[in-house]
Chains A and B, each alone.
Chain A
């Protein structure tokens, strides 16, 4: 049984290169409450390394990462 998460907000970062994905996701996550989850869609391959680094530094949590063709989907829980 897969655990279900309620996604509060989806952020479209497709086509955006560095540094926009992390800049936008750091802004976007502040629009949900602590404990809620957002979904971010990026096509920047650097995001695969950058998002975990951003999450570790900012204190948020990446619950799951999915790759759908060129699109990388991050499920991120706001912790701070």
Chain B
């Protein structure tokens, strides 16, 4: 009898360890790209994941960072490089271009009108929907700093936070699905 109790206690502690190792129904995504098509795909997966009952965390880094700029906000006090990045990179979700067939903006404009015709949600609508669904967004602090973006010029998004690689790894470690886009 004592033996059984001992075995039971051992089993319990082993289950506890396993519990901690079990991943959550969560999707962690790195949005590295700033291309319209790839960011759109990221949001399709994000909103779809919530529908499937999963939690979603998106990490915007490098070229993905300017997608989250607010087109109506401008901030001063940037150095020359910061100003240059600010001018050359898209200002917000409405300004990003296709990765292929952009053709000086013509291709992107055509794709957008086609999307409208076919009822496909625009990137701006996708962002709104993601916020409503509780998709969590983190922005890479290092990219912000590198490109000279300031927190004040980013969009208003419920729960938007700035972070580093450790936060992503913590979330990814607990997620069943990890994607790099």
Stretch at the interface among A1-9, A20-28, A33-41, A67-75: A20-28
B80 at the binding interface (Cβ < 8 Å):
no
Which residues of A line the B interface, CB within 8 A?
15-20, 22-23, 25-27, 53-54, 57-59
B73 at the binding interface (Cβ < 8 Å):
no
Stretch at the interface among B48-56, B64-72, B142-150: B48-56
B129 at the binding interface (Cβ < 8 Å):
yes
Closest to A15 in B: B119
Residues of B in contact (CB 8 Å), total 15
Q: Are A20 and B53 in contact (CB under 8 A)?
A: no
Q: Are A23 and B50 in contact (CB under 8 A)?
A: yes
Q: Are B51 and A22 in contact (CB under 8 A)?
A: yes
Q: A19-B44, A19-B48 are in contact. Are A26 and B53 (CB under 8 A)?
A: yes
Q: A18-B44, A19-B44 are in contact. Are A25 and B51 (CB under 8 A)?
A: yes
Q: Are B52 and A57 in contact (CB under 8 A)?
A: yes
> Can you list 6 A-B pairs with a CB-CB distance of less than 8 A?
A20-B119, A22-B52, A23-B47, A57-B53, A57-B54, A59-B53
B20 at the binding interface (Cβ < 8 Å):
no
Q: Are B119 and A23 in contact (CB under 8 A)?
A: no
B118 at the binding interface (Cβ < 8 Å):
yes
For the complex, what is the distance from the CA of A20 to the CA of B133, rounded to whole Å?
Answer: 12
Q: Which residue of the partner chain, among B45, B50, B54, B118, contacts A17 with CB atoms under 8 Å?
A: B118
For the complex, what is the distance from the CA of A20 to the CA of B126, rounded to whole Å?
Answer: 10
Q: Which residue of the partner chain, among A17, A20, A58, contacts B52 with CB atoms under 8 Å?
A: A58
Q: Tell me how far the C-beta of B122 lies from the nearest C-beta in chain A, rounded to whole angstroms.
A: 12
3 shortest A-B CB distances, which residue pairs? Answer: A26-B51, A19-B48, A22-B51
For the complex, what is the distance from the CA of A54 to the CA of B119, rounded to whole Å?
Answer: 21
B9 at the binding interface (Cβ < 8 Å):
no
Closest to B46 in A: A19
For the complex, what is the distance from the CA of A50 to the CA of B77, rounded to whole Å?
Answer: 49
B window 106-145: CB within 8 A of A: 118-121, 129, 133
For the complex, what is the distance from the CA of A67 to the CA of B172, rounded to whole Å?
Answer: 40
Q: Which residue of the partner chain, among A15, A16, A23, A27, contacts B48 with CB atoms under 8 Å?
A: A23
